[in-house]
Amino acid sequence: MDIFNKSENKQALLNAIVMSSHDAIISKSLDGIITSWNTAAERMFGYLQDEAIGKHISLIIPADRLNEEDFIIGQIKAGKRVDHFETIRKTKDDRLFPISVTVSPVIDKNGNIIGASKIARDISERHNAQKEKAELLDRLKDLNKRKDEFIALASHELRTPLTSMDAYLQILSRNISDEKVKVFVEKALSQSKKINHLISDLLDVSKIESGKLILRPEEFDVKSLLEDTIELISDSNESFVITLHSDLESVMLFGDKYKIEQVIVNLLTNAVRYSNDNKNIEVSLKNDNDNILISVKDYGLGIDPDHFENIFSRFYQIHNSSNISGLGLGLYLCRQIISQHQGQIWVESEIGKGSTFWIKLPANIAIT
């Protein structure tokens, strides 16, 4: 009697667990006839227990998914469990919704498979969240595309009048004898160049993010490039002394000459921009095994170590002085260009003592 009571109590406990479950728990024969139907199944599918038991499981399967039942029963007959099978099922009022089902074989005391037990969970919320996420991503892609188109169009429209303005200012500068007026014209030209640089940076960022920044590799002499770039920056910043330190006669590199020049110009321009009273800037070039090392050192404001990584991010600016212009894109572009050359760029600095930016480039770059 005790054994009978224990068995009866165990069965009652199992029934209570099944009926109180938040997941639909359904049993069926190998022929697909429903043999049990818990309260959660009533809530989920809309059929009461008396309406479902004895009916075929196709009661809740959409017509275009009936073949799934053949697959599931085939797995069950083979003694296999079907785990977290995601599909669509229908309610009594023909509403379709997504569910995740786990189906296990029901085995009798002799080891024979006599049916299947199914646990079903409504995954509508997750499904809707994934759908919303996909729609958001599509929307963001569309907005990003429109942003690229806008930047390209705006850049073109801005550059056309800027080019004309530059030409007129240069003509004006050559034909003005009044030195005071000439200073103002030179300042206007300088500001025009800054706008052109900002436009170029925005275009390059847009190209990088859309994967359209194309490198045009060629073999060139890095030392010669540094000398030419230093001369260019020195001519427009006459109060600065920019010195190149290198024992090498020439250093050949296979890469995009103009993009590497863009990086060097950016680093030298920053060195000028963030200098204090010390107007010395030192550039070094040397070989390090199979790598080329370039450094640009200034004796200016310096950078707190907390900013070392962030300064290579988009729109990140350390100094908010109104005397220092820029969008915070220069170093971001430098890192992207150097990365595309399979190189590295980093900074060493101390507040009040200046900064040294380092570039390491492999001498033999396989650019794809």
The per-residue pLDDT for range 30-47, each reduced to its tens digit, is 999 999 999 999 999 999
Torsion of CA 57, 62, 64, 66, to 10 degrees: -10
Q: Which domains does the chain have, with CATH numbers?
A: 2-122 (3.30.450.20), 216-368 (3.30.565.10)
The per-residue pLDDT for range 256-265, each reduced to its tens digit, is 888 898 899 8
pLDDT band at 368 (very low <50, low <70, confident <90, very high): very low
* Cβ atoms 100, 90 nearer than 8 A: no
DSSP assignment of 245-297: E---S--EEEE-HHHHHHHHHHHHHHHHHT--S--EEEEEEEEETTEEEEEEE
* Cβ atoms 204, 331 nearer than 8 A: no
Can you tell me the mean pLDDT for 215-231?
90
The per-residue pLDDT for range 131-151, each reduced to its tens digit, is 889 899 888 888 777 776 776
Answer whether residue 113 shows pLDDT above 80.
Answer: yes
